[in-house]
A and B are shown apart, each in its own frame.
Chain A
Amino acid sequence: DTGVSQNPRHKITKRGQNVTFRCDPISEHNRLYWYRQTLGQGPEFLTYFQNEAQLEKSRLLSDRFSAERPKGSFSTLEIQRTEQGDSAMYLCASSFFQDQGGFFGPGTRLTVL
């Protein structure tokens, strides 16, 4: 399978716990994006990496959210002290060119109880 993969696919956690998601992009893609999507809404941009550098982060993103892409390959998104409002689908997308549009992974569905 040469597409974008995300793990886990589902995560249920209690409020206040920390969670971490992983994204493995398409191997030759140097650009990686994280999005959050809630029901009835389009994906909301969270952050962008070019290789290992985090070049863009949404102004709306809480300090509880952090992302890394240590070797320019896979990426992790961590949410600290989760809140019920963090419940959403977290999507990762990758591309080779900036104007290529992103190819999305299957997403990680987070439920915060």
Chain B
Amino acid sequence: QKEVEQNSGPLSVPEGAIASLNCTYSDRGSQSFFWYRQYSGKSPELIMSIYSNGDKEDGRFTAQLNNASQYVSLLIRDSQPSDSATYLCAVNSGNQFYFGTGTSLTVIP
């Protein structure tokens, strides 16, 4: 079983809609969770981190953590074409970070 699993997509949403990205993880001891955005040909860029159960909002982004279900999600409100990218979920377990394979998001103008 992979440490971190994501639906690879592609996920397409119209401009202005809410994009919902999901991630599950296997290590119940994990305490830190991250969402990265990666544009084609570029390196990952940290956009959100969450450390406790519940929701965390930052601008148009909301990260949600459910420890009991071992589930992390990212909501992007008012999606813009510039949000089109691959979104990577990462989990900190001990001294290592485990990444999912990423979900490709396309926002259609």
Contacts and interface: CB of A to CB of B under 8 A. Distances in A.
Contacts of B31: 99
Contact of A56 (B34, B51, B96): B96
Give the size category of A's interface with B.
Answer: 20 to 34
A99 B32 contact: yes
Interface stretch (A14-22, A37-45, A62-70, A71-79): A37-45
What is the predominant secondary structure among interface residues of chain B facing chain A?
strand
Contact of A103 (B32, B46, B98, B101): B46
B101 A101 contact: no
Interface in A56-105: 56, 58, 89, 91, 98-105
Give the size category of B's interface with A.
Answer: 20 to 34
Given A43-B88, A99-B31, A104 B44 contact: yes
Contacts of B101: 40-42
Interface of B: 4, 8, 31-32, 34, 36, 42-46, 49, 51, 88, 90, 92, 94-102
